[in-house]
């Protein structure tokens, strides 16, 4: 079951390089976060550590419900009609993502990470997610897609922590989730401002503000 969940996590990150609409990408990141919460619940079931369940429930509330609602409220209307802009074509981005996935797999196999008794399964997938989330931010010129890349990176960090030490202290988890919620609000606001000013959501257009 753990292996299946990690495969779905990696596949969800790869799908971000194939979607053409922001609303679809928001749905994918909600699915990814839901699978991440399921990983936390699985770890709680196996270990009986209570804060894992609490962190999983908070992840469901914030990353599966609240943040997607905020992003989806922007990813509609004229903003949603704009095609997602990437630095390469979708096929080339997907190719680079697959190469990064292979690199991440090999890097994880050589890292001597102190995995917890039930966490070894998650370590390789977390490294891959970290690389794919970073590339998502680099490869896209859409602010919401860059925000989704940031969420993917945070999901990878959460996966690493439950794989190594059964998660971070609960107050740190709460702080991170609160920061992510505020970041989603800022990203949504900036997206609307960029579209209002330039009638585009391409962040490269912001260079026009220089001088």
pLDDT per residue as tens digits for the range 43-64:
888 888 888 888 889 999 999 9
Checking if the pLDDT of 114 tops 70, the result is no
Please state the pTM of the whole predicted model: 0.86
Neighbours of 179 (CB within 10 A): 11
Checking if the pLDDT of 108 tops 90, the result is no
| pLDDT per residue as tens digits for the range 9-26 | 899 999 999 888 888 899
Q: What is the pLDDT of residue 191?
A: 79
What is the mean pLDDT of the segment spanning 97-109? 88
Based on the structure, what is the number of domains in the chain?
1
Secondary structure in 3-state letters for 109-140: HHCCCCCCCCCHHHHHHHHHHHHHHHHHHHHE
User: Are the beta carbons of 133 and 13 closer than 8 angstroms?
Assistant: yes
Quote the domain boundaries for residue 79: 2-209
Higher pLDDT, 205 or 110: 110
Beta bridge partners of 86: 140
Backbone angles phi, psi at 169, to 5 degrees: -55, 145
| pLDDT per residue as tens digits for the range 129-153 | 999 999 999 998 888 888 999 999 9
Q: What is the pLDDT of residue 202?
A: 62
Q: Is 154 exposed, middle or buried (0-12, 13-18, 19+ CB in 10 A)?
A: buried
């Amino acid at each position: 079951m753990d292996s299946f969940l990690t495969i779905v996590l990696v596949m969800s990150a790869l799908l971000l390089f194939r979607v053409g609409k922001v609303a679809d990408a928001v749905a994918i990141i909600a699915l990814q976060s839901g699978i991440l919460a399921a990983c936390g619940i699985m770890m709680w079931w196996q270990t009986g550590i209570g804060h894992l369940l609490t962190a999983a429930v908070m992840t469901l509330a914030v990353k599966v419900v609240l943040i997607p609602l905020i992003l989806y409220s922007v990813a509609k209307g004229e903003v949603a009609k704009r095609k997602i802009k990437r630095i390469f074509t979708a096929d080339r981005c997907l190719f680079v993502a697959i190469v990064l996935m292979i690199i991440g797999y090999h890097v994880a196999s050589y890292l001597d990470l102190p995995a917890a008794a039930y966490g070894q399964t998650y370590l390789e997938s977390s490294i891959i997610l970290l690389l794919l989330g970073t590339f998502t931010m680099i490869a896209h010129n859409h602010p919401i897609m860059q925000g989704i890349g940031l969420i993917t990176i945070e999901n990878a960090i959460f996966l690493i922590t439950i794989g190594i030490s059964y998660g971070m202290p609960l107050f740190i988890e709460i702080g991170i989730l609160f920061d992510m919620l505020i970041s989603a609000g800022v990203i949504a606001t900036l997206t609307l401002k960029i579209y209002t000013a330039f009638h585009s959501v391409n962040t490269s257009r912001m260079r026009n503000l220089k001088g």
